[in-house]
Structure 1
Amino acid sequence: MSINNGIIVLLVGSLLAACSSTESVISERSQQRWDALIKGELEKAYEFYTDAFKATTPPEIFKRKTQGAGLWSKAQVQKVQCEAERCRVDVKVTVSLKMRGLNQPVETSDIVRETWVKNGWFSDWRYVKE
């Protein structure tokens, strides 16, 4: 193998490792945001949003408009796909509803699609509310 081919192999390997690392970071951050939402820790969940969102939506309004806290019982990141500075995350969210006449809550799940972005070299990954 020539030196040029060796360098190319190293670069491709580094890029693949970076993608894998990015996807695990996004998976962790998304899970942390959902864990905070489920626990009703809206101040903590708010910190995962972009600066642009926070500039237009103060924490008090965010808390008032966040619907689902108390109904969400589980959330689990299913898949993360990244392209450059933008990632798509599929999260399986479970809602528990108490129904009259039933002893146990009824659970239903659906996949929620999220977008996470990184703005700038030194930025961390942030959730984009769409």
Structure 2
Amino acid sequence: MSIRNTVTVLLASSLLAACSPAESVLTGYAQQRWDALIKGDLEHAYEYYTEAFQATTPFDVFKRKTQGAGLWSKAQVQKVQCETSGKRCRVDVEVTVSLKMRGLNQPVESSDVVQETWVKDGWFSDWRYVKG
């Protein structure tokens, strides 16, 4: 194997290895954000949004516009997939809503997968959710 091929293999391996910890961290962050949303702890959930979002959307506006609090009953991170750069990842979260229907004793549950984008700006920065 040539030196050039060796360097290419090492670089590719390091990029793949770099994404694995990111996927683990993002699984936790995304789950924590959703857990906070479900509990109605919007202050904690707001901390996971990008600085740009927070600069343009004050917390009071975020709180007023957040739809779903009280309807969401559970959320579970299903998959995290990072781009080669390791600075942008897609997180798939299965979110379940629970609706009380007139005439039914038990709430009706419905689930769907939500695709989220998370970014990391610098080497030591935290991951942040990008509101789509």
Same fold per superposition (TM over 0.5):
yes
Question: Counterpart of 2:119?
Answer: 117
Question: Counterpart of 1:108?
Answer: 110
User: How far did residue 11 of structure 1 move?
Assistant: 4.5
After TM superposition, where is structure 1 displaced by more than 6 Å over at least 4 residues in a row? 1-7
Cα RMSD, aligned residues only: 1.7
Q: Does 1:63 align with 2:63?
A: yes
Letter in 1 for 2:44: K
State the aligned residue count. 130
Q: Does 1:90 align with 2:92?
A: yes
Question: What 5-or-longer segments of structure 2 have no aligned partner?
Answer: none
1: CA distance, partners of 2:67 / 2:3 = 57
The CA deviation string for residues 51-91 of structure 1, in whole angstroms up to 9 with x for no partner, is 00000001111111001000000100111111121111111
The percentage of aligned residue pairs carrying the same residue is: 78
1: CA distance, partners of 2:93 / 2:62 = 21
Question: Counterpart of 2:50?
Answer: 50
Letter in 1 for 2:22: T
Please, what TM-score do these two structures have when normalized by structure 2?
0.89
